[in-house]
Structures are given as structure tokens and as C-alpha cells.
Amino acid sequence: MSKASKIASATLPPAELYERDYYTWTQEQARALREHRIEELDWTNVAEEIEDLGKSERNALRSRLVRLLEHLLKYAHARERMFENNARGWELSARNSRDGFRDRLEENPGLRPQVDDMYVRAYREARNITLKALRLPDSAIPEAPPWTLDEIIDDSFLPRRDI
């Protein structure tokens, strides 16, 4: 730690340091935790940051699901010429998204109870992205997911073409 940050941290209470120098705050809080110096912990902000880490993991899982659904929807609904030019890329992106989704879920099994709701919300987002990208009317893609979660995370699944 540099002299400047030691001086700054020595003169600021942890909650104020959190607002003024987030990086230094993180380093000092981590050190205080490792050294079991609980009197130096900024409990409120530490708790908030830990909650944010959980939200970040949830958002990363949801993002994988949106990307997977987006490319499956494009695969299913793209006009023939666009399909011919992009199908392989969508297949590979779906594969990567499946792998990433399963990896994130395996690393964070506490998110399993949220997956069903996440799937419905991710589908809505992916549908809107796909409608825009393919310049399709709302009626071109079903409002409710046409596939189950188990289907889309199956490595062998590719949707039927509806064109």
C-alpha cells in the first residue's frame, strides 16, 4: 500500500473511505477480515458489497440464459438467407452459453430455486432482442417460451425452423 493511501486511510473513517476511495476501502476491509480486526470493519458497506456479489452471480447466470435463448430464437425464426449466413455461429454461441450457464449454476447451486422465474424473464428479453435484430413483427415469435429449460440446456437441442 502506498504512503498516500495509508495517509488517506488513516485519516478517514471506513464508511467515508468507502465513498472517496473504494479500492483502498476494499483492500483495508479485506485485511481487517483476514486479521480478525472486527473493530475496523465497515459492517454496513461490507454486507452491501457481499449482497452485490450474489446479485452479480445471478445476473451473470441470467445473461447466459438470455444469450442462449436469443440465439436459439434467431436459429428458429431467421429468414432463409440470414439463417444460411449465421446458423453455425448461433449454434456455437448456444453451445458456449449452455456451458457457461451450467458452469455458473454448478458453482452457485443456491440460485437453482430462481431458475424457473429467471427463464421466463430471460425469454422475454431474448424475444425482444430477436424481434429487433431480425426485424420481425411481435406475432412472429411466441410470447411464452416454446421450449422447456431442460430442452434448451441439452447439448443436442436445436429448435425446429419455423420459416
Q: Is 40 helix (H, G, I), strand (E, B) or coil?
A: helix
pLDDT tens digits, one per residue of 119-143: 999 999 999 999 999 999 999 999 9
| Angstrom distance (rounded) from CA 83 to CA 32 | 56
Angle, helices 115-134 vs 43-77, to 10°: value is 50
| Angstrom distance (rounded) from CA 43 to CA 57 | 22
CA neighbours within 13 Å on the CB side: how many for 36?
Answer: 0
pLDDT tens digits, one per residue of 66-109: 999 999 999 999 999 999 999 999 999 999 999 999 999 999 99
Cell of 108: 452457485
- For the entire predicted model, the pTM comes to 0.81
